[in-house]
Amino acid sequence: MKGRALYGLVAEFLEPERLLAAAHAARQAGYKCTDAYAPYPVEGLADALGMRFTGVPLTTLLFGIGGGTTGYAMQLYSAAVDYPLNVGGRPLNSWPAFVPIIFELTVLAAAFGAALSMFAFNGLPRPHHPIFETPFFRERNASRFYLCIEARDRKFREEKTRAFLEEQAPEHVWEVREE
Amino acid sequence: MSTPYRASVPTPGASPQWRSLDDLARLEGGGDEFPADASEWPDALSRRRFLQLMAGSLALAGTGACTRQPREEIVPYVRQPEALQPGQPLYFATAMELGGEAFGLLVRSDSGRPTKIEGNPAHPATLGRSSVHMQAALLTLYDPGRSQGLMKSGSPATWEDLLGTLTEQRARWQERAGAGLRLLTRRIASPTLREQIARLLTKYPQAQWHEHDAAFPAPPLPAGLRLERAEVIVSLDADFFGSGALHPRAAFDFAKRRRADHGRLYVVESTPSLTGAMADHRRALRPGELADFARGLARAVREPGAEADPWIPAIARDLTEHRGRSLVVAGEFQSPEVQASARELNEALGNVGQTIDNLPPAPGPRAAALPELARAMHSGEVEALLIFGANPAYDSPADLDFNAALEKVPFTLHHGIYFDETAGRCAWHVPESHFLESWSDARALDGTVSIVQPLIEPLYPSKSAHELFAALLGELPADGYEIVRSAWQQRPGGGGFESAWRKTLHDGIAPQTGTVSAPPAQGATTQIPPTEPAAFQASLELIIRPDPHLLDGRLAENAWLQELPKPFTKLTWGNAAHLSPRTAERLGLAHGDVAELRYRGRTVRAPLWILPGHADECVTIHLGHGRNCAGSVGSGCGFNAFALQTSEAPWGGRGLEIHKTRERHVFATTQEHQRMEGREPVRVETLGKPTTPPAEAAPAREETLYPNIDYGRPSWGMVIDLNTCIGCSACTIACQAENNIPVVGREQVLRGREMHWIRVDAYFAGSVEAPQLLHQPVPCMHCENAPCEAVCPVAATVHDHEGLNVMVYNRCIGTRYCSNNCPYKVRRFNFLSYNDTHAPQLALMRNPEVSVRMRGVMEKCTYCIQRISAARIEAEKEARPIRDGEVVPACAQACPAEAITFGDIHDPESRVAALRQSPRHYALLAELNTRPHTTYLARVRNPNPEIA
Amino acid sequence: MALTAQRCEQVTDRLSGLVLREPLRRGWLAGFALAFALLMLLNVAIPWLLIRGVGIWGVNIPVAWGFAIVNFVWWIGIGHAGTFISAILLLLHQQWRTSINRFTEAMTLFAVACAGLFPLLHLGRPWVFYWLLPYPDTMALWPQWRSPLVWDVFAVTTYLTVSLIFWFIGLVPDLATMRDRAERPWMRVVYGIGALGWRNSARHWKRYEMAYLLLAGLATPLVLSVHSVVSFDFAVAIVPGWHSTIFPPYFIAGAIFSGFAMVLTLVIPVRAVYGLRDLITERHLDHAAKVMLATGLLVALGYASEQWMTWYADEPYDAFMSHNRMFGPYWPVWWTVMACNIGAAQALWWRRVRTSPALLFAVALLIQIGMWTERYMIVITSLHRDFLPSSWGMFHATVWDWATFAGSLGLFFTLLFVFIRLLPMIAIAEMRKQTTEGRE
Amino acid sequence: MGQIVCAWQAAIGGARGLRVNSGFARMAQLFPQYTNTLARIALPCLALGFSVVAWAVHAAWFSSYATEVNTPVEQPVPFSHQHHVAGLGIDCRYCHTSVETSAFAGLPPTETCMTCHSQVWRDAPILGPVRESWTTGRRLRWKRVHDLPDYVYFNHSIHVQEGIACVSCHGRVDRMPLMAKQHSLYMRWCLDCHRAPERHVQPMSEVFVMRDEPAQAAAASRLASRGELRGESPPIFERGRQAVREKAVRDTRLEDCSICHR
């Protein structure tokens, strides 16, 4: 395992509360490049890590608006401008009849917006990641809780950080190296 | 029988209207709503199936558009005929004969193919109108089932073989002066043919000519009638609209009178008929009672006195008040006694020469009847029998046992357009040329003569009657054209022959012929009718009539006529035994039961149709069905009524017994429900009375959320006058011919998939005992607020600027939503590939101006848009607006009563615009605010105050 | 070892085990074989349909829409339960949804897939279905936007897509778990590809929950819109019995009604076979049954108000239509609908019924039959007698109508059986959260 | 890296059903580094690929392969319009007699060919089929070049009457040794003119003249092809619009389905 760049130090916990506390502490201690791993979304964990906003809702909104407008534009152009046909004496711009498709396209686009932005901002898909180098991470990440302080953090000093983590009473503190 | 409609759904506020019961019959037949019999199993992989399979797999590949169509060819003439212009149709005058009468025609020819038949305006029998039979004659020409070659005892032979045999035969006839030589024909209208027959009879004095026409015992009725002059008409079972063949002239004249001052029509009949449906007073009487009625009427006119029947004095008074302007007509199927009463009445009322003409008989020899021939054949006197056109092996009375007699004749020859029952039993069969393929001439009953000129070379090695006769006589010329031409040259005619001949060909009628009125036939022998044997007194009466469409079966192979719904019953592909509800109830018979009809020792199995308005205690059956040698179309649908026909009483009589069987029959009918359910699709008003306000008036024009689109001019519309429409269905067939509408067959009709663009609905209003019979032709309404258009997902049906609801077949993907949303249900769908694209003959028949629809697309009435386009293009070339009456849809053109008017509804001068102002004018289902462009004029009754 | 980790481990191990360690059961095989046989039937029915044309079905004039549309509406209806459970109940913080949402979402997808099949098949010329989509063609033509059928195209595809996204996003963390727990490397690779490298990062979880919530918020109006649009196919038309403003709500209620019935018909056997009685408890069945009862009553209200409107409007065509439904030639249909959808549903008032799997199963089956028949009633008995008595007719279903219907059932169950074998049918991550936090 | 290789081997092995030791099964990285890049570009690639395919289909549809534009058609007799029209200056109507009166422009009967070729080129081998047809009376079978679908009802006479020049649709026939289509004849192409006839309509004197479409029409179609000037009408169309007025073309109807389809 030697000779490979250090990725960070990872503390392993059995209880979410511990992790949460540790995360807060890390933040207090001024660590920025941190991440936590939990088998399920733990209330307030991300905030504890200092995560402000996700960006997902805004994208969703924009996509939605975009979808809706294209929906109406498309129908108006094709039915009233490009090839105006007299359909059973109905007005060319029968906007009430256009509503369903406008709605559907709004929802469709918004849904894509939500999904895509979530993956994009999460940097997924990313099949390869150093955290998997953490011993037993694969066996345990579905049941245990991890706090990772990355080496690239300005305040990261291997001994001090390890000591800091040890204070959080983890099960283990692993040092994880890049491949 | 009446139980079903007792059990049927009572409608809120229903007027005393009731229903025919076929839908319940179906339910009983089909059991629950998922009957197994409706299932559709794959049949053997025929060639056609295979092609469909190919098409299907193409479809699977989704490459309907990707495949490039094979490169087409253009094949110009070597020498182009003058007058002919590629892409422009030509019209030729000719004539067809039916029942010994000529019907003048105007036939459209598209690049050498006759594609549409219309009446010839110059001809007295048609006046430019037409009938189902005239329209359907086109299909017969191209019918792939036609006899396509000369046959000797079942195996192909050549014309030369026949000529050889004939020379031998001639020698034999010569030495025996024609003894044992017999000739059998149908009624003949061709003077030239009569002359040829005359020559034959003079050449072989002992020879005999017999005439047998099962559909026309007498010449068609209307020829002598002047209906437009008659203010009061009494019909004693005289169906002058529909007897034998529908007669355009009768409807035309009658409609004229109706439009003028309506007049009054009394009809006394046993079976509901087209004429009966037009009556102001209709009375259903069994034939026996009918004779008494006629006798009573004659008596009442002679010396007015008390009558048991309240109708008689009333009608008598009405008649006597209209001396010389009235008319009494007896049906040609009625007993001589009834005929006599009618004649007596007309003479007494001084109608003869006024409203009825006695027509001169056609010149030439007289023919004997069939029974004599049969007797002679049985007794072995006949050595040679030459049958022209007739089909006695099928359509002769059962008691003659003609087939057995035919066995006894050594030399038999059959000349006919089909290889029918008789052809199969004759030594020789010569295919007959269709009248559109051959030269001939034809004489109308009033003496007008027309030349029958061909529009196309014979499709098969067939001969015309003239050519065959020439061969019989060993005469020259042998070619049809020469024969007819030389015959005409011999006739007296002023001026140069050539010019006269050309003029006759062009006009379709020979100058200075016709309208020769003969002196009144005096002392008509009133013979006493054969009194019924006592044994039969109590029993039911049988009424035998020709089928309204197939006649005596000669047209059974014509798919258009087979699928054309019959009047009132709307029955297709078969016939039934009709009887009145009350009689059925008395005998415990239900609609759709199959019963055994036993009549004077003979028996047939027939499905029962309970027909309101039918006289009690009698049963009507129609001839022309149940043929077993009528090709793939005509064979085996319906039952053969000739099995009950006897030569002494060919049109029925007493002595019928009905025995119910366990079997049930499902009728292929196009209209299952004939009660109006209080919705008044057909409005009836009484003459003089203020018009009854419609149930729901149409919303005012401004009552709409949509912009009121202002259609410019022209804005096409149609008005149908229900007061003159006789319900003959000529429009339906004309439309079918003009618009390449396919037939779908019995099984598909059973599924409710018929394709007719204009249908004729029939309703029964009023009491069960004496219902009023109503007709209503229903084409597409071309609604301005068309419900069909808004729901089409691909804009395959939209409005154009001329107010038409256009259907774009090539855009249609077949969701069928438009049909669901059409309140008039006038849209038709190609559920399977109905258009036979494999028979080359049918390809020739199609109208090149109308797309042939493929499987999976919707279609409907287009107002004959191809004709509109043609007119528009002509008008634009001349930079003028389209004239009123310049565009005539096929239905309007065919309609014998001119009940259909078409034109620009925004042109104040046009006839439609005028009709739309009529107080009788109304729109179907106006309350839906669909703003239809097809509208109706209400039916009017002119009742006699003394009756009812 | 501490409680949370232990619980998480148990849940994870057990649920992933359902896929990773589960032996091939005979019950599963039998069911799959049957479903697959039916699917093969569809495999015959569709080519024959394309070769011969829709004429092989019983459709005609006037009844131009038959089984195809009935099945379409029925399947779409069933497709509603899944999204309802996963989206609406999520917004309503109904914890109990967790046990069944994954399963019902899958059900939704398959049902909608089956539904989507029919409108295409019922076209007269299915090979030009793409004319329903807007694209620059050689004809310079566009779809006709006023037609509810075009709305259908958009509504159904949108619904399918969004449900798929929703379902997949829910799956991602579980796929990660499967990736990490699968024995066979190739399986781990396959699951790994699906997992997109999910690593349970807290920051990811945050965005994930946000997106999931937004999707739920979007799916909620969507699920309500889909059946409204489907109901427009009828409500927009002028046919008596179709042209009615109450259709949208009444269709949605019916959809959820039949959807939950399908959920129960599937869940009850599954929980028995896979021994999940402790995860999918009587409480779940009880809740589902209550939803069914509620929506059932809404449907009943729909029927009632339809009758009332007919009476109040005194519109002769509608009056005749409703009378014809009850006493006309198709009277058995109407009475079946009433018996199943109103009659049978009332049994759910009793807790006994709601909590006894057997009874509940029976009721659910009845309701599904009832809801299919209801669509039959709406489509066919309305069409067969409309305005002009002269054009009235009857509809007779053919063998091919039934074959196609059975075939679609085959497709549905085949997909479902495959799903049970390959993916965790209960959302693992959510169960982890619930088992640990749920108890507080 | 080596680890990865055996990961894949194992994967294949696993696929073969071998069970691999759990120590390996729990190997840290399942996917190598580069798969991140792969995964990142996968999605954009997918989107790109889809649009490329869509574009390709569309292009193919309008390509001359599909429309057969400018692909000369083999004929029984290699008749050269160039020679007869440009060279000899024969008027269109000499052969296409019914173009002014009928829907079908008309193809000359053999007779017409023989009016000259009984005198000139009497025994040119390429005219063999013509002479044969003349002597035997067997018709010549020409291959269709402008073949509209059967559900389209095009009428030559009205177009000529309204002042649509031959060149507008058939192109410079006088430069074609062998006849070839000049336009796709797609509905879209028809509509271009039906939506703005004034761009093509000309005075009668111009109709049968073989010269490039007048400047304004050419310019117009260029503009139109760029999707500009729908509705508005710069002065260059004045001539055309005047012709339209004279001819009283009801241009409101020219977009009706029923104008071409029945």
Residues of D in contact with A85 (CB under 8 A): 255
B641 three-state secondary structure: helix
Give the nearest partner residue to B794 out of C122, C143, C383, using CB atoms. C143
Q: Which amino acid is at B171?
A: A
Q: Comparing C-alpha atoms, which of B834, B805, B836 is closest to residue B822?
A: B805
How large is the average pLDDT for residues B501-505? 89
Distance from CA of A175 to the nearest CA of D (A): 14
Query: Is residue B408 very low, low, confident or very high in pLDDT (cuts 50, 70, 90)?
Result: very high
Q: What is the pLDDT of residues B767-782, one digit of tens each?
A: 888 899 999 999 999 9
Task: Write down the mean pLDDT value for chain A.
Answer: 89
B510-524, B547-561, B695-709: lowest mean pLDDT where?
A: B510-524
Q: What is the pLDDT of residues B638-666, one digit of tens each?
A: 999 999 999 888 898 888 999 999 999 99
Kindly give the pairing relationship between strand B939-941 and strand B684-686. parallel
Query: Is residue D217 very low, low, confident or very high in pLDDT (cuts 50, 70, 90)?
Result: low
Interchain CB distance below 8 Å, D139 and B808:
no
pLDDT at C128: 92
* pLDDT winner (highest mean) among A55-64, B7-16, B469-478, D247-256: A55-64
Q: Comparing C-alpha atoms, which of B185, B195, B250, B191 is closest to residue B216?
A: B185
Query: Is residue D243 very low, low, confident or very high in pLDDT (cuts 50, 70, 90)?
Result: low
C 116-145 → B contacts, CB under 8 A:
122-129, 131-132, 139, 141-144
How large is the average pLDDT for residues D242-246? 62
Query: Is residue A170 very low, low, confident or very high in pLDDT (cuts 50, 70, 90)?
Result: confident
Task: Write down the mean pLDDT value for chain D.
Answer: 79
Residues of B in contact with D133 (CB under 8 A): 78
* Half-sphere exposure at residue A98, Cβ-oriented, CA atoms within 13 angstroms: 20
Distance from CA of A40 to the nearest CA of C (A): 6
What residue of B is the nearest CA neighbor of A89? Answer: B785
Could you give the CA distance from residue B669 to residue D145 in angstroms, rounded to a whole number?
Answer: 48
pLDDT at B185: 94
pLDDT at C17: 87
Interchain CB distance below 8 Å, B785 and A87:
no
Cα C296 versus chain centre, distance = 16
Interface of B to A at Cβ within 8 Å reads 706-707, 709, 783-790, 792, 795, 798-801, 931
D91 three-state secondary structure: coil
A 87-146 → C contacts, CB under 8 A:
87, 90, 94, 97-98, 100-101, 103-105, 107-108, 110-112, 114-115, 117-119, 121-122, 124-129, 131-132, 138-145
pLDDT of B895 strictly over 60: yes
Tokens of B330: 């007896």
Using a pLDDT cut of 70, give the percent of chain A over it.
98
Could you give the CA distance from residue C337 to residue C373 in angstroms, rounded to a whole number?
Answer: 6
Q: What is the pLDDT of residues D170-209, one digit of tens each?
A: 988 999 999 999 999 999 999 888 888 877 887 788 888 8
Query: Is residue B518 very low, low, confident or very high in pLDDT (cuts 50, 70, 90)?
Result: low
ipTM of the complex: 0.89
Give the nearest partner residue to C165 out of A16, A41, A115, using CB atoms. A115
Query: Is residue B81 very low, low, confident or very high in pLDDT (cuts 50, 70, 90)?
Result: confident
Residues of A in contact with C3 (CB under 8 A): 15
Interchain CB distance below 8 Å, D188 and C184:
no
Q: What is the pLDDT of residues B808-839, one digit of tens each?
A: 999 999 999 999 999 999 999 999 999 887 88
pLDDT at B493: 64
pLDDT at B56: 46
Residues in CB range of B390: below 8 A, 6 or more apart: B184, B185, B186, B212, B213, B416, B422
pLDDT of B59 strictly over 80: no
pLDDT at D2: 37
A-C interface: how many C-beta pairs under 8 angstroms? 200
Could you give the CA distance from residue C19 to residue C177 in angstroms, rounded to a whole number?
Answer: 12
What residue of C is the nearest CA neighbor of B823? Answer: C387
State the virtual CA torsion across B843, B845, B849, B851 in degrees, nearest 10. -40
B805 three-state secondary structure: strand
Residues of C in contact with A44 (CB under 8 A): none
Could you give the CA distance from residue C271 to residue C279 in angstroms, rounded to a whole number?
Answer: 8
Between B869 and B364, the more confident residue is: B869
Tokens of C133: 């989509």
Residues of D in contact with C197 (CB under 8 A): 31, 36, 39
Residues of C in contact with D61 (CB under 8 A): 138
**Contact of B801 with D252, CB cutoff 8 Å:** yes
Residues in CB range of C41: below 8 A, 6 or more apart: C403, C406, C407, C410
Residue D47, judged by CB atoms within 10 A of its CB (0-12, 13-18, 19+), counts as: exposed
Between B135 and B72, the more confident residue is: B135
**Contact of B235 with B267, CB cutoff 8 Å:** yes
pLDDT at D131: 92
pLDDT at B57: 45
**Sign of the CA dihedral D6, D7, D11, D13?**
positive
Distance from CA of B801 to the nearest CA of D (A): 6
Between D21 and C356, the more confident residue is: C356
**What are φ and ψ of residue B591, in 5° steps?**
-55, 130
Query: Is residue D240 very low, low, confident or very high in pLDDT (cuts 50, 70, 90)?
Result: low
Only one residue has tokens 């017994």, namely B657
pLDDT at D247: 54
pLDDT at A178: 80
C 44-83 → B contacts, CB under 8 A:
47-48, 50-65
Kindly give the pairing relationship between strand A34-37 and strand A145-150. antiparallel
**Contact of B829 with C392, CB cutoff 8 Å:** no
**Contact of D232 with D255, CB cutoff 8 Å:** no
Query: Is residue B793 very low, low, confident or very high in pLDDT (cuts 50, 70, 90)?
Result: very high
pLDDT at B528: 43
Residue C286 is given by DSSP the state H
pLDDT at A65: 97
Which of the other chains make 3 or more beta carbon contacts under 8 angstroms with chain A? B, C, D
How large is the average pLDDT for residues B720-730? 94
A169-178, B256-265, C10-19, D13-22: lowest mean pLDDT where?
A: D13-22
Q: What is the pLDDT of residues B938-948, one digit of tens each?
A: 999 999 988 86
Q: What is the DSSP string of chain A?
A: -TTS-EEEEEEEESSHHHHHHHHHHHHHTT--SEEEE-SS--TTHHHHTT----SHHHHHHHHHHHHHHHHHHHHHIIIIIIS--B-TT--SS-HHHHHHHHHHHHHHHHHHHHHHHHHHHTT------GGGGSTTHHHHTTT-EEEEEETTSTT--HHHHHHHHHHT--SEEEEEE--
Could you give the CA distance from residue D192 to residue D221 in angstroms, rounded to a whole number?
Answer: 8
Query: Is residue B460 very low, low, confident or very high in pLDDT (cuts 50, 70, 90)?
Result: very high
pLDDT under 70: residue ranges of chain C: 1-2, 438-440
pLDDT of B161 strictly over 80: yes
Interchain CB distance below 8 Å, A87 and B783:
no
Interchain CB distance below 8 Å, D109 and B866:
no
B 33-92 → D contacts, CB under 8 A:
69, 71-80, 85-88
pLDDT of D230 strictly over 60: no
pLDDT at B12: 36
pLDDT of D32 strictly over 50: yes
pLDDT at B28: 34
**Sign of the CA dihedral B641, B643, B648, B653?**
negative
Tokens of C103: 């399963």
Q: What is the pLDDT of residues B174-226, one digit of tens each?
A: 999 889 999 999 999 999 999 999 999 999 999 999 999 998 888 777 778 88
Residues of B in contact with C149 (CB under 8 A): 791, 793, 815, 817
Tokens of B76: 């110009």
Task: Indicate the helix (H) or strand (E) that contains C226.
Answer: helix C202-235
**Contact of C315 with C246, CB cutoff 8 Å:** no
C 105-164 → A contacts, CB under 8 A:
134, 140-146, 148, 150-151, 154-155, 157-158, 161-162
Task: Write down the mean pLDDT value for chain B.
Answer: 86
- Angle formed at CA B268 by CA B264 and CA B274, multiple of 5 degrees: 75
Provide the 10 A C-beta neighbour count for residue C304. 11
Tokens of D160: 């000529």
Residue C408 is given by DSSP the state H
Cα B299 versus chain centre, distance = 36
Query: What's the pTM value of the predicted model, to 2 decimals?
Result: 0.90
pLDDT of D102 strictly over 70: yes
pLDDT of B25 strictly over 70: no
Q: What is the pLDDT of residues B584-617, one digit of tens each?
A: 999 999 999 999 999 988 999 999 999 999 999 9
Residues of D in contact with C186 (CB under 8 A): 11-12, 14-15
A-D interface: how many C-beta pairs under 8 angstroms? 35
Provide the 10 A C-beta neighbour count for residue B366. 8
C138 touches chain D (CB under 8 A): yes
pLDDT at B947: 86
Beta bridge partners of D143: B73
